[in-house]
Amino acid sequence: MRFATYEHEGVERAGAVRDGVVHPLPGGGTVLALLEQGALHDAGAEALERHSELTVDQVRLLPPLKPPSIRDFVGFEAHIEGVSKALDGLERVPEEWYRAPNFYFTNPHAGYGAQDDVPVPAGCSVLDFELEVGAVVGRSGRDLTPEQAREHIVGYLVFNDWSARDLQKPEKNLGLGFSKGKDFANTLGPFLVTADEVADRRDPDGFLDLEMTVALNGRLIGRDTLANVSWTFEEMVAYASRDTWVRPGDVLGSGTCGWGALAEHWGRLGERTPAPLTPGDVVELTVERLGTLRNRIVAGAADAYLPRARKRGRTPRP
């Protein structure tokens, strides 16, 4: 099944989608609430039995759900090879990358829909996209094995982890992780596609072989497959659940695929080609079976609030 959250005539609702037709979920429930109740599948089946003439083209698609948290992994070796050279001047993948499927937490409150305009963040002049797949947790779990984790993944969506590269680089130097270089926008969608819809594309090692492509202003500039990720989603969920909980609606990003970001092109080519995103650019990220995100870049805030630290220069009290 496919689930969408959408806005139509000023009202936000959730629905099941089949053949381009949106069938509103009964009772006005949200995707997240129904996941938490363990009732999403039944609600979707009931919705699809009802007649509807509302099509996807008639609504504004919102993120399919409002995730309680977003963990973003760094799962593609090819991406690390390219982007490390662009951002850090490294010619190789750091040895630490191979030891575990590392992740960071990004902003669950910065969601944009599949066709929304995305503004340039304040103070940014080097805007970039990142093509990923997100796995959505369907039920709570703690200290899961990868085998157990498979039963906790309800489905998948396309995930654009936008990056302000010029803000991101100095933030890394502090060693605390990303802040304003990352938390301004995430595009999620267009649908939450349940795991059974892609189960036939799973290879013997548990990886999903789904083509991933990037087009910029109508021109294809990147292609990879989700099967090139170095850890399965089950392994990522199991690692994320170590000593803590994963909850319904949590999103776990695969990391950016090979050739899935401009910074990777810059690192491999040694120049900023294609150029950083500017207002008017249109980014299309497509994952086989999951759908397409198509976002236009627009102008954002002109001024960036940047409070400078005060150099105290005082002698500490004894």
CA gap 183, 118 in Å, rounded: 13
Q: In the chain, what are the domain boundaries?
A: 2-60, 70-298
Q: What is the DSSP letter of 231?
A: S
Stated pTM of the model: 0.96
Q: Is the pLDDT of residue 313 over 80?
A: no
pLDDT, one tens digit per residue, over 284-294 is: 999 999 999 99
The answer to whether the Cα torsion of 117, 208, 206, 224 is positive or negative is negative
pLDDT tens-digit map of 172-202: 888 788 899 999 999 999 999 999 999 999 9
Residues 137-180 have pLDDT tens digits of 999 999 999 999 999 999 999 999 999 999 988 888 887 888 99
pLDDT on residue 185:
98
Which CATH number does the domain 70-298 belong to among 3.90.850.10, 3.40.50.2000, 1.10.3720.10, 3.40.50.1000? 3.90.850.10
| Residue partners of 170: CB distance under 8 A and separation at least 6 | none
Nearest to 138 by CA among 71, 190, 67, 188: 67
Q: Side-chain half-sphere of 281: how many Cα atoms within 13 Å?
A: 21
pLDDT of residue 2: 98
What is d(CA 212, CA 11) in angstroms, rounded to the nearest whole number?
32
Q: Kindly tell me if the per-residue pLDDT of 317 is higher than 80.
A: no
Q: Is 200 left (phi over 0), alpha (psi -120 to 50) or beta?
A: alpha
Q: Which residues of 2-37 are buried (b: 16+ CB within 10 A; e: fewer)?
A: bbbbbeeeeeebbbbbeeebbbbbeeebbbbbbbbe
- Whether the pLDDT of residue 311 is over 90: the answer is no
Mean pLDDT of 10-15: 98
Query: Quick one: average pLDDT of 219-227?
Result: 98
Q: 236: pLDDT confidence band, cut at 50, 70 and 90?
A: very high
Per-residue pLDDT tens digits for 119-133 = 999 999 999 999 999
Does residue 229 carry a pLDDT above 90?
yes
**HEC readout, 34-71:** HHHHCCHHHHHHHHHCCCCCCEHHHCEEECCCCCCCEE
Which one, of 216, 290, 198, 301, lies nearest residue 259 by Cα? 216
The model's pLDDT over 53-109, given as tens digits with 9 standing for 90+, comes to 999 999 999 999 999 999 999 999 999 988 877 777 777 888 999 999 999 999 999
Tens digit of each residue's pLDDT (9 = 90 or more) over 263-309: 999 998 989 999 999 999 999 999 999 999 999 999 998 888 888 88
Tokens of 279: 């207002």
Q: Residue 289 has what pLDDT?
A: 98
Q: What 3-state DSSP class applies to 5?
A: strand
